[in-house]
Each structure stands twice: as structure tokens, then as C-alpha cells.
Amino acid sequence: MNESNWRIVILGKTGVGKSSVANTIFGEKLFKTNNTANSETTKCQAETRSVNGRSLTLIDNPGFFDTVTSEEELKPEIIRCIIECAPGPHAFLIVLEVDKFTEHEQAVITKIRQNFSEEIFKYATVLFTHGDELDEGQTVEEFFHQNQLASDLLKKCGGRCHVIDNKYWMNNQQEEYRSNQFQND
């Protein structure tokens, strides 16, 4: 991989839409998704495409608290993910669902910290899927500030966060652009 290739690792719990996010970014279905109760991604998968004139590699991973992959099987996949990113990832997308931010979401953040390090948050952006679940007129900033755990995560990530609605964006790429982005200065 050359230096102009950006490498982004996608992390999160099972079922939040990590593979769908990768498909939305690339504008094509390269990563397998499903709508069942079982996990679809069981192995690390890397794909490279040109996005807005820049070479981009997205690395999708099995989810934390996976329904199929055990903790013991997940660790080698995380190591493989880092190898796929050699000489290292440029950024991480921590994918969460627009929903209640509970101890389960906090446990995902703890797993990310345990498997990588606290340093990961310096290079991470929180990406919420299912943006259509926000209350009408509600911003992602308001959503975050309603919950201390979510607010703490946002601070760790330097205020970088974005919300996305994969279904809307995949079906309406040429029409109105829906963005609900917030970043602290």
C-alpha cells in the first residue's frame, strides 16, 4: 500500500451496521450484510477503492459481543486487522447505534480499549448509525449531552462524531444530502 492510501478500521458491537457503513462509504455492496439475529461478519475484511480521488482502505471486523465469534476467535482477527493496516491505521470509526447509551455500549468501548489501547481514541470518530432514530429536530450533539457515558466518549475522541442513515444515503446519493454532523473546536 502506498502512503496516499488512507486505512480506516471499523469497530463496534455486532449488529450496529459496520458493514453497511463501509458499503455506504464506498457506494457499493462489497461487505456482506444481513437482517437476521446472527452476526454476518466473522472474519476481518479489507477492501480498497477510490473515494473522491483518494485511495481508501476500509477494514471491517467481527463485532464485539458477537453471536458467532467467541472472544478467543476475535483476538486473532483483531491482530489480522492491524496487519491488514500495515504500516498502521490512519483512523478508527467506532460505530454505535442511535439508541440508549447503556452499560452494554460502554462495555464495547472497554473492549476496544483492551484490544487496542487508550491511544485509539486520539484517532477515532464516533459514527452513529440509524440516524433516522433521532427525534425530529434533535442533533447528535443533543443526543450525546443527554448521557454522561456518551458525553465522556465524545470528549475522548476530541469531539469527532457523525450520524448516518445508511438506507437513506444508499438510495438517495444524488439527491438532498442529509448531514447531522457535530465537532467541538
Predicted confidence (pLDDT) at residue 146 exceeds the cutoff of 70 = yes
- The pLDDT tens digits of the residues spanning 62-106 come to 877 765 666 777 777 777 777 777 777 899 999 988 777 778 888
The helix or strand, by DSSP H or E, that contains position 93, with its residue range, turns out to be strand 91-97
Other CB atoms closer than 10 Å to residue 20's CB: what's the count? 22
152 or 141, which is more confident: 152
Predicted confidence (pLDDT) at residue 185 exceeds the cutoff of 70 = no
- Residue 141: partners with Cβ closer than 8 Å, 6 or more residues away: 182
* CATH number of the domain bearing residue 157: 3.40.50.300
SS3 67: coil
Question: Which pairing describes strands 6-12 and 91-97: parallel, antiparallel, or unpaired?
Answer: parallel
154 or 133, which is more confident: 154
Predicted confidence (pLDDT) at residue 183 exceeds the cutoff of 60 = no
- The pLDDT tens digits of the residues spanning 1-28 come to 445 789 999 998 888 888 888 998 898 8
Torsions phi, psi for 43 (to 5 deg) = -130, 150
Give 177's pLDDT tier (boundaries 50, 70, 90): very low
Domain that holds residue 59: 6-171
Average pLDDT, the chain: 78
C-alpha cell of residue 20: 453497511
Structural domains counted in the chain: 1
What type of residue is 156?
K
pTM exceeds 0.85: no
Predicted confidence (pLDDT) at residue 56 exceeds the cutoff of 60 = yes
160 located within any domain: yes
What per-residue confidence (pLDDT) applies to 175? 37
180 located within any domain: no
158 located within any domain: yes
SS3 139: coil
33 located within any domain: yes
Alpha-carbon span 25 to 29, nearest angstrom:
10
Among residues of the chain, what percentage have pLDDT more than 70?
A: 81
44 located within any domain: yes
